[in-house]
Amino acid sequence: MKLIPGIVPPPGGTEPTWWFIFQENKLLIYQTPESVTLPFLMDLNELGLIVIRQNYLGQFENRHCYAGEVAEGTTPPKGMTFEGLRQVYGRLEEDLFWIATRAVQIVNWDRTHQFCGRCGVPLKMKTTERAKECPQCGLLHFPRLAPAIIVLVERGNELLLARSRHFLPGMYSVLAGFVEPGESLEEAVVREVKEEVGVEVKDIKYFGSQPWPFPHSLMIGFTATYTGGEISLNDEEIEDAGWFTIDNLPRIPGKISIARKLIDGFVGKHGKVSQE
Ligand SMILES: [Zn+2]
């Protein structure tokens, strides 16, 4: 992401700024047949929208960026629509897309953290970090972030893929799960694989990470090597799991996901370039 993050908005602007405006989790976009663009405006009033909350995000290519929220039921301006982030991936410029994933999380945090959870008084936004502070008890409230591990398990030239009940028909992916309090990432990998499919792994290696704003995860990717155990489905969420070679892969997640990057990495290592 090429955003230089900031918290305190600049003094009254004389230059156009990018606006990431959300209604719930949907982003306000201009849609043309070829692509999707965002409002880039001298003055937000040009859109004739009432923004109920706004947060400064920082600078992208020397232009200021703001996240804003409009009330439910707000009609989009002419030529514009509100769309889910997954739907705009691949059509909106990639850098702006990833800024939008940050923007939606800040908008959601701002909306759902208006009052102190301890004393119930309205919170004040801090100017030194992305946090809100209770003026009465001093409790700090940071944006929620839920770390989750995602792991590609290898066994020779095979990889382990599983199917959640919530997936699209025929879709399989690598295993993933939330990190529990007090657990290291490596411990989370071992536990999740054991819990979900009953096998053991070793050689856990960091692969990469990706923000996943649905609604506020950070996916931390690993590869691991199978060491033993038969696949057994213990988790109600998982309806099928199995070993696949690159020649018999099922339907897999789209390019937006780190799951796909993990699978593409495995496929690349075993000698084939991924399609789509
Ligand atoms: Zn308080």
Contact 263, 184 (CB under 8 A): no
276 has pLDDT over 80: no
**113-155 pLDDT, tens per residue?**
999 999 999 999 999 999 999 999 999 999 999 999 999 999 9
What spacing in Å lies between the alpha carbon of 128 and ligand 1's midpoint? 19
Any bridge partners for residue 5, and if so which? 58
pLDDT (average), residues 149-172: 96
Q: What is the mean pLDDT of the chain?
A: 93
Q: Between 215 and 18, name the one with better pLDDT.
A: 18
**By percentage, how much of the chain surpasses pLDDT 70?**
97
Residues near ion ligand 1 (Cβ under 5 Å) = 116, 118-119, 134, 136-137, 139
Phi, psi torsion values for 51, nearest 5 degrees: -90, 120
In terms of DSSP bridges, do strands 40-41 and 17-23 run parallel, antiparallel, or are they unpaired?
antiparallel
Gap from CA of 143 to ligand 1 centroid (Å)? 16
Q: What digits encode the pLDDT tens for the residues 87-116?
A: 898 899 999 999 999 999 999 999 999 999
First to last CA, the chain: 23
Ligand 1 centroid, distance to 147 Cα (angstroms): 26
Q: Where are the alpha helices (DSSP H) in the chain?
A: 85-88, 94-112, 185-197, 258-269
Q: Is the dihedral of CA 118, 122, 124, 129 positive or negative?
A: positive
Block residue for tokens 């025929």: 170
Using DSSP's 3-state secondary structure scheme, residue 45 falls into helix
Tell me the CA–centroid distance for residue 53 and ligand 1, in Å.
21
Question: What's the 179 CA to ligand 1 centre distance in angstroms?
Answer: 28
Which has the closest alpha carbon to 85: 110, 107, 61? 107
Q: Ligand 1 centroid vs 121 CA: distance in angstroms?
A: 6
**pLDDT tens digit sequence for 34-44:** 789 999 998 88
pLDDT number for residue 1: 62
pLDDT score of 145 = 93
Q: Which helix (H) or strand (E) holds 242?
A: strand 238-244
Q: So what's the pLDDT on residue 35?
A: 86
Rounded distance from Cα 141 to ligand 1 centre (Å): 10
Q: What residue type is 188 in one-letter code? A: A
Q: What number is the average pLDDT over the span 259-264?
A: 97
What pLDDT does residue 81 have? 95
Which residue in this structure is represented by tokens 């705009």? 88
Which pTM was predicted? Answer: 0.87
Say whether pLDDT at 258 is over 60.
Answer: yes
Residue 214 pLDDT exceeds 70: yes
Q: Which two tokens stand for residue 273?
A: 């370039």
State pLDDT tens for residues 48-68. 999 999 999 999 999 999 999
Residue 65 dihedral angles phi and psi, to the nearest 5°: -125, 140
Q: Residue 19 class from Cβ within 10 Å (0-12 exposed, 13-18 middle, 19+ buried)?
A: buried
- 188 C-alpha vs ligand 1 centroid, how far in Å? 33
43 alpha carbon – ligand 1 mean position (Å): 36
* Nearest-angstrom CA–CA distance, 269 and 272: 8
Query: Quick one: average pLDDT of 182-210?
Result: 97
HSE at residue 81, side-chain half, CA atoms within 13 A, is 9
User: In angstroms, what is the span from residue 218 Cα to ligand 1's centroid?
Assistant: 27
Cα–Cα distance, 32 to 131 (Å, whole number): 37
